[in-house]
Amino acid sequence: MVNKSGFNSKEVCGYPLSIFFIVVNEFCERFSYYGMRAVLVLYFKYFLRWDDDLATSIYHTFVALCYLTPILGAIVADSWLGKFKTIIYLSIVYAIGQVAMAVSAIHDITDTDRDGTPNNMTFHVVLSMVGLFLIALGTGGIKPCVAAFGGDQFGDHQERQRRTFFSVFYLCINGGSLLSTIITPILRAQNCGIYSKQKCYSLAFGVPAALMVVALVVFIVGSGMYYKAKPEGNIMGDVCKCIGFAISNRYKHRSKQYPSREHWMDWAEDKYDKLLIAQIKMVLKVLFLYIPLPMFWTLFDQKGSRWTLQATTMDGNFGAIVIQPDQMQTVNPILILTLVPIMDSVIYPLIKKCGLNFTPLKRMTVGMFLAALAFVCAAVVQIEIDVSRKHLTYFNLTQFVNGMNKPVNVSTSEIFPFLIIIRATFFLQSGQLSCAFSRDFGFGSSYTFFIPSTLSLGSNCQESITGAEDIKPNSVHMALQVPQYFFITAGEVMFSVTGLEFSYSQAPSNMKAVLQAGWLLTVAIGNFIVLIVAEVAKLPKQWTEYVLFASLLLCVCIIFSIMAYFYTYIDPTEIEAKFRRNVGDDDDDKNDKQRKLEMEMMKRDLDRSDDEHYKGKQTKM
């Protein structure tokens, strides 16, 4: 197969063979990212011993950073290294970051007194922060490059295959994240250590690190098969300079004696190409529409923080299996894998059959509304939890009061989180004395056991040791979180999947990456809003915070629907073609008057933004 740049690549069933490596790379990379993220907030809380607020703040700062760095990646790839090298170099940085996280979670490194807790917490905190910074740089940097690099592999005649590639790409993201959000919490719940046993965060971070190395190796193996487009120059820089010139030129000509121009960007015409100006106008129209979007992500990304912490106060016993709090996040990719095909093949066609024009911006508005609804559900669940008990924890905290006048060594059997081993066995050892006893534990309960002074060789521990329940078991079931997960995921399908497609279709050809980076920037800002609102509001009750976020998104949803109503869809390719044709006409020495007339028509075309591209007729919203 020969693609648009004359590159010859091997094909399998009409698809370039090279995309196989890109899709596998994305699967492994998303496994690595979401696997690490799934246990992160619990690592902060239980390993680094941070409180809920600090854990949530650092978690969202990290996520925000992951979506700020795509701009950096896009600039480096477009103007300097090209996508291929950028992906390689930043993947190395990413893998180093993951390894640093895994090492930071080995408690034995600083556990000098071998009591199971690190003695130099600063070492663990610093190393994990360095690790998270490198991961943010890596994952964000490669994000706008990988999908675009995949798209580059297709020829102009492979539009259909390219569309399928993007769907498979999204499914791979969720396949990888689904597996990792199941696996890493299981690894985290194991006990491991050299001198003393602790929850195994090092393994939970180590496996994602290994997957990132696999992602890198797979990508390098495909090296000889890729089409590697040369960097096109710093398009971001050109855009900024052109906008800057338009603003300064407008300011210089602010006096009334100068005739006004139709659009403020037209003030750049004195120096810049009309095509570039037209393209910037298209981008600015979409970016303006992006302004309210961060609020959606503010709610969406709390799945990994507030909702996971909420799950720690719930009962995860599902009969045959016990679900870990951080495993609840798997509901999201499971629903994505089922909802995306259902929406595409049943819901959207059904809506169309009913004669409704469910445009992308309408879908996004409904997606926002569903996310707000999800937070109302979260608030209701929180009220249930608060009513059921005042203070509890997911972990079975067990303490012993030793009534004997000599030390007793107590150990317990391993508990595999997928089976309901609510029954735990404790082994007591003191000199010649050695015995065992078993007790049943409720999910989230805490007990104190009393070792009587009369305990001696031959005693029956099962009968002699008495226990008192300090904290009642969690009684609100984790299944109650399913409705909130359902609404947030249905919202994601309508908002995120549609938004990605919208950003791509409305972007000029040379600025697809710019708009992708802009889209990811809304995710970053959304995560900063979590920090600001949680810090400023400082609400005493968690459910009131959920209601606050739901109300904020509802307000933003109304504003967005008004903005969307005034937006008209464009076909960037058509507009660009008209401008290019005009340049050709210039070469044919067309007279000035006619050229001006045509330019006027094109400007009007752009400003009216005819929506022939979308459903073949003028479409608002």
Ligand X SMILES: N[C@@H](Cc1ccccc1)C(=O)N[C@@H](Cc1ccccc1)C(=O)O
Could you tell me if 487 and 300 are in contact, meaning their C-beta atoms sit under 8 angstroms apart?
Answer: no
- The CB-of-10 to ligand X minimum distance in angstroms stands at 27
Q: How far from chain centre, in Å, is Cα 241?
A: 31
Amino acid at 362: K
- The CB-of-145 to ligand X minimum distance in angstroms stands at 13
- Within 13 Å of residue 607, how many CA atoms lie on the same side as its CB? 11
- Cβ proximity to ligand X: between 163 and 271 the closer is 163
- Cβ proximity to ligand X: between 64 and 127 the closer is 64
- The CB-of-601 to ligand X minimum distance in angstroms stands at 39
Tell me the two tokens of residue 127. 């190393």
Rounded CA separation 458/444 (Å): 33
Question: Packing angle between helix 121-152 and helix 82-104, nearest 10 degrees?
Answer: 160
- The CB-of-30 to ligand X minimum distance in angstroms stands at 6
Helical spans, DSSP H, in 566-591: 572-587
- Within 13 Å of residue 446, how many CA atoms lie on the same side as its CB? 10
- Cβ proximity to ligand X: between 106 and 553 the closer is 553
- In the sheet where 423-430 sits, what is the strand order? 409-412, 423-430, 433-440
Rounded CA separation 290/343 (Å): 24
- The CB-of-427 to ligand X minimum distance in angstroms stands at 38
Distances (CA, A) of 55 to 52, 295, 308, 430: 5, 21, 11, 39
Residue nearest to ligand X (CB): 177
- Cβ proximity to ligand X: between 57 and 327 the closer is 327
- Cβ proximity to ligand X: between 336 and 513 the closer is 336
- Cβ proximity to ligand X: between 40 and 570 the closer is 40
- Cβ proximity to ligand X: between 249 and 305 the closer is 305
- The CB-of-214 to ligand X minimum distance in angstroms stands at 18
- Cβ proximity to ligand X: between 9 and 181 the closer is 181
- Four-residue CA torsion sign, 79, 80, 84, 88: negative
- The CB-of-67 to ligand X minimum distance in angstroms stands at 7
Pairing of strands 423-430, 433-440: antiparallel
Enumerate binding residues for ligand X (CB under 6 A): 30, 34, 173-174, 177, 181, 303, 329, 332-333, 336, 492, 496, 523
Give the DSSP letter of residue 259: P
- The CB-of-38 to ligand X minimum distance in angstroms stands at 7
538 burial type by CB count under 10 A (0-12 exposed, 13-18 middle, 19+ buried): exposed
